[in-house]
């Protein structure tokens, strides 16, 4: 499949930075995934598709619960790292390289589709949701966890979008909870729950290093922070602690069921 510009940017960025996402990365803590899937009471051996798996933290956690997991990503080096981690942990998983906007699977083949801290890179969230709904079995579940900005905060949303685009140019767009819910409902996924939690960004330099942010972009981010509108300062609790610039991301957890 020919990739569009947004997909190519993500593929290149994450192929280059795959070494930063394994052991020690903040995504290694999967308590958010555990809490979201517990109420779903998945039967052991459920078929799970983890989209944009990165270093595999979400998908490998699900495999460790005894599910039959397929890890997918657009960047081959990420899948290699996820495979190595699976071997180290004695877990058996399938891996497939493809974009989140088009899946090479038959209709109704999965009990659960997960996607965590990645959809803000996707060129077409609409296609991703349509594909997710297509490959889920009736009654199957979708778990989305991603950066978001609450509804009704367009100025703060634009500010965060500008910051994130400079920090990591493969960022595409954060969607609000209502925008995700509309996409899901339009594709036949009934939204059971949306929760926004706050997640501290404790060290701006760590974020810069993770994405290998260019020096000129770091300066622009610092200027955006210095001139942030009050709406963004308040919403993201932008401030300083011990000389470090800190703020709180908003992270959306959405659970939906295929009708």
For ligand SAM, the binding residues (CB under 6 A) are: 7, 10, 14, 21, 27, 52-55, 57-58, 73-75, 78, 99-101, 116-118, 121-122
For ligand SAM, the closer of residues 80 and 185 by Cβ is 80
Which residue number, 37 or 117, has a Cβ lying nearer to ligand SAM? 117
Smallest gap from residue 122 Cβ to ligand SAM (A):
5
Nearer to ligand SAM, 116 or 167 (CB): 116
Report residue 112 as tokens: 């659960």
User: ∠92-142-199 over CA atoms, to 5°?
Assistant: 90
The residue of the chain with the least Cβ separation from ligand SAM equals 54
Taking the complex as a whole, how short is the minimal distance between the CB of residue 67 and ligand SAM, in angstroms? 15
Q: Which is nearer to ligand SAM, 58 or 194 (CB)?
A: 58
The end-to-end CA distance of the chain, in Å, is 29
215-226 and 154-167 helices cross at what angle (nearest 10)?
A: 160
In the complex, the smallest distance separating the C-beta of residue 225 from ligand SAM, rounded to whole angstroms, is: 22
- Give 78 or 175: the residue with its C-beta nearer to ligand SAM: 78
User: For ligand SAM, which is the closer residue by CB, 122 or 228?
Assistant: 122
Q: In the complex, what is the shortest distance from the CB of residue 24 to ligand SAM, in angstroms, rounded to a whole number?
A: 12
At residue 242's C-alpha, the angle toward residues 248 and 174, to 5°, is 20
For the CB of residue 52, give the shortest distance to ligand SAM in the complex, in Å: 3
Q: Tell me whether residue 133 is exposed, middle or buried, using C-beta atoms within 10 angstroms of its C-beta: 0 to 12, 13 to 18, 19 or more.
A: buried
Smallest distance, ligand SAM to C-beta of residue 141, A: 16
């Amino acid at each position: 499949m020919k990739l569009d510009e947004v997909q190519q940017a993500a593929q290149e960025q994450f192929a280059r930075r795959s070494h930063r996402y394994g052991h020690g990365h903040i995504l290694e803590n999967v308590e958010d995934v555990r809490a979201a899937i517990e109420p779903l009471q998945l039967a052991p051996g459920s078929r799970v598709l983890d989209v944009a798996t990165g270093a595999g933290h979400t998908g490998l956690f699900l495999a460790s619960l005894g599910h039959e997991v397929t890890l997918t990503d657009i960047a081959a080096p990420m899948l290699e790292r996820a495979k190595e981690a699976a071997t180290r942990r004695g877990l058996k998983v399938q891996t497939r390289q493809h974009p989140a906007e088009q899946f090479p699977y038959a209709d109704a083949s999965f009990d659960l589709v997960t996607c965590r801290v990645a959809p803000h890179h996707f060129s077409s969230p609409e296609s991703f949701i349509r594909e997710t709904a297509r490959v889920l079995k009736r009654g199957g579940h979708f778990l989305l966890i991603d950066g978001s900005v609450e509804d009704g905060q367009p100025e703060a949303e634009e500010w965060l979008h500008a910051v994130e685009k400079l920090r990591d140019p493969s960022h595409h767009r954060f969607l609000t909870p209502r925008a995700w819910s509309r996409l899901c409902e339009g594709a036949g996924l009934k939204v059971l729950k949306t929760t926004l939690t706050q997640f501290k960004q404790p060290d701006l330099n760590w974020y810069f290093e993770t994405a290998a942010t260019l020096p000129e972009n770091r300066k622009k981010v610092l200027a955006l922070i210095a001139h942030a509108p009050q709406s963004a300062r308040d919403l993201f609790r932008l401030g300083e602690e011990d000389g470090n610039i800190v703020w709180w991301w908003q992270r959306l957890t959405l659970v939906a069921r295929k009708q």
